[in-house]
């Protein structure tokens, strides 16, 4: 016999977990369906943090910021392709989302910066560790505390739709048995499609052969299922490549390393671009180098301020040496070139002016304290900005811009918020902000 719920949540990344918690707290009977054997989706790999402007934690640190500036910088970073209503809502609700998390003992009270932003507004855990693991473990604790049901190794194969409204889902479990779950609201929080090479290449043929930073489950199945019941899509060709991916492991080297003061250097031992530019631009400059790769270079001070750096060292792909000259030798690089590059950059830090490439942010301190570190990187497929069309209630829209009753979407599966280029720190903000909204609205519909 079919089981009955108020709200079915498809996907256990940040968007799905936030939605489930909120819907439960609104009094709905909810279930989370996850096709992989573990919870957390691609969110668990999120590195740098969660952007928000005018937050309590910024105030405590004396950081002056405005929602308006956050809006403008995100729009500019997205090449003015972002959906203005969604972006407005996003910027408006971001500080509340930071507080929503804090109230659940998920405090993001340390603050850093990412490419394309002019102000420290990327919120991260106090110990400066990667945000993804911290966020997922905190959300899972909240899910468990509420006894919210989670079905792992179970995928949603179809969203059921009858007489103009969603009626539930068909799920297939690990034994390949399928059954029906009834629900008036289905929240699709299945993430993006970066790990679906066929789909990526369909929209962007030139990305064939690129590695991806994403987990295996990022296949875009939610988009296909929603299209089947009439959902419209937007910006499907807007696929972000992240500039700094370690190629042997597909491991993402967090923007927080550059945000903490690291630079990018070519095989010739020279800087070649403003490291704090947006991801699309930095990626393009790396691909334009003869070797199509570059080195992230940092010193002991950067390492000491960033937990992620120790994680990379433990993974075994960081080269290090007591002096820049010795490091250069290890990189098959001209030692004089690297030493000169560091000296020149250090001068810019002191003068607070990058005369070569106009870097204005994260000129933290001179890179002059050994040991020195290097990681070889090149771009990789990282985020799919496009997806299904939603309105500011997270209702999924059809081609006539009409909501499909009972269909909700939040997180990377939805398109429009980031336009043509997502800013680092805006994906975590996206999933929490719109996850909460989806949970609230889906619960309200189900209880009507």
x/- track of binding to ligand ADP for residues 222-261 (CB under 6 A): x---------------------------------------
Strands 50-51 and 122-124: antiparallel
- Measured from the CB of residue 440, what is the shortest distance to ligand ADP in angstroms? 16
The residue among 117, 98, 102 whose CA lies nearest residue 432 is: 98
Is 279 an active-site residue? yes
Q: For residue 231, what are the β-bridge partners?
A: 398
- By beta-carbon proximity to ligand ADP, the closer residue of 78 and 220 is 220
Phi, then psi, of 188 in degrees rounded to 5:
-90, 115
Decide: is 138 part of the binding site for ligand ADP (CB under 6 A): no
- Measured from the CB of residue 219, what is the shortest distance to ligand ADP in angstroms? 6
Q: Which residues, 6+ apart, have CB-to-CB distance to 288 below 8 Å?
A: none
Give the side-chain half-sphere CA count within 13 A for 1.
2
- By beta-carbon proximity to ligand ADP, the closer residue of 156 and 302 is 156
Among 49, 217, 243, 424, binds ligand ADP (CB under 6 A): 217
Give the DSSP H or E segment for 404.
strand 403-409
Place of tokens 């290890």: 330
Among 11, 125, 261, 416, binds ligand ADP (CB under 6 A): 11
Among 131, 150, 166, 189, binds ligand ADP (CB under 6 A): 189
Decide: is 190 part of the binding site for ligand ADP (CB under 6 A): yes
x/- track of binding to ligand ADP for residues 29-58 (CB under 6 A): ----xxxx----xxx---------------
- Measured from the CB of residue 192, what is the shortest distance to ligand ADP in angstroms? 7
Among 47, 155, 213, 320, binds ligand ADP (CB under 6 A): 155
Among left, alpha and beta (phi > 0; psi -120 to 50; other), residue 116 is: left
Give the C-alpha separation, 328 to 142, whole Å: 48
- Residues of this chain, 388-427, that bind ligand ADP according to CB under 6 A: 411-413
Catalytic residue (one of 271, 279, 422, 440) = 279
User: What tokens appear for 315 in the block?
Assistant: 């993974």
Contact 181, 166 (CB under 8 A): no
Helix axes 14-25, 131-145, angle to 10 degrees: 30
Give the DSSP H or E segment for 91.
helix 84-102
- Measured from the CB of residue 253, what is the shortest distance to ligand ADP in angstroms? 20
Place of tokens 């304290």: 369
Q: For residue 319, what are the β-bridge partners?
A: 374
- By beta-carbon proximity to ligand ADP, the closer residue of 429 and 446 is 429
The residue among 97, 96, 162, 139 whose CA lies nearest residue 9 is: 139
Decide: is 7 part of the binding site for ligand ADP (CB under 6 A): no
Among 423, 431, 432, 442, binds ligand ADP (CB under 6 A): 431
Q: Which residues bind ligand ADP (CB under 6 A)?
A: 10-16, 33-36, 41-43, 155-156, 189-191, 217-218, 221-222, 411-413, 431
> Which are the catalytic amino acids?
279
């Amino acid at each position: 016999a079919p089981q009955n719920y108020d709200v079915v949540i498809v996907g256990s990344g940040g968007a799905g977990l936030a939605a489930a918690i909120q819907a439960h707290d609104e009094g709905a009977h909810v279930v989370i369906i996850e096709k992989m054997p573990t919870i957390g989706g691609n969110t668990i790999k999120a590195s740098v943090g969660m952007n928000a402007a005018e937050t309590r934690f910024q105030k405590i640190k004396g950081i002056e910021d405005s929602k308006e500036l956050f809006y403008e910088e995100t729009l500019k970073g997205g090449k003015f392709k972002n959906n203005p209503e969604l972006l407005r809502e996003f910027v408006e609700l971001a500080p509340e989302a930071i507080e929503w998390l804090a109230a659940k003992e998920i405090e993001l009270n340390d603050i850093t910066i990412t490419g394309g932003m002019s102000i420290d507004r990327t919120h991260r855990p106090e110990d400066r560790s990667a945000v993804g693991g911290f966020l997922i473990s905190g959300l899972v604790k909240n899910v468990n505390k509420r006894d919210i049901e989670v079905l792992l190794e179970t995928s949603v194969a179809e969203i059921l739709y009858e007489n103009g409204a969603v009626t539930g889902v068909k799920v297939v479990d690990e034994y390949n048995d399928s059954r029906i779950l009834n629900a008036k609201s289905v929240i699709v929080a299945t993430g993006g499609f970066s790990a679906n090479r066929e789909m990526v290449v369909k929209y962007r043929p030139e990305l064939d052969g690129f590695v991806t930073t994403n987990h295996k489950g990022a296949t875009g199945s939610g988009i296909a299922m929603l299209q089947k019941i009439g959902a419209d899509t937007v910006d499907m060709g807007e696929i972000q490549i992240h500039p700094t991916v370690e190629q042997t492991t597909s491991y993402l080297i967090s923007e927080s390393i550059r945000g903490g003061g690291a630079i990018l250097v070519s095989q010739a031992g020279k800087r070649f671009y403003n490291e704090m530019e947006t991801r699309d631009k930095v990626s393009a400059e790396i691909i334009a180098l003869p070797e199509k790769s570059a080195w992230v270079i940092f010193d002991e001070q950067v390492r000491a301020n960033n937990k992620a750096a120790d994680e990379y060292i433990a993974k075994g792909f960081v080269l290090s040496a007591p002096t820049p000259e010795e490091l250069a030798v290890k990189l098959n690089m001209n030692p004089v070139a690297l030493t000169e590059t560091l000296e020149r950059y250090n001068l810019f830090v002191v003068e607070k002016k990058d005369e070569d490439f106009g870097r204005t942010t994260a000129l933290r301190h001179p890179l002059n304290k050994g040991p020195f570190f290097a990681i070889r990187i090149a771009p990789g497929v990282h985020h799919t900005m496009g997806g299904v069309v939603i309105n500011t209630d997270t209702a999924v829209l059809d081609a006539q811009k009409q909501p499909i009753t009972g269909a909700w979407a939040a997180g990377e599966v939805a398109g429009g918020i980031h336009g043509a280029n997502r800013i680092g720190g805006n994906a975590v903000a996206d999933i929490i902000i719109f996850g909460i909204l989806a949970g609230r609205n889906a619960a309200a519909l189900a209880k009507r």
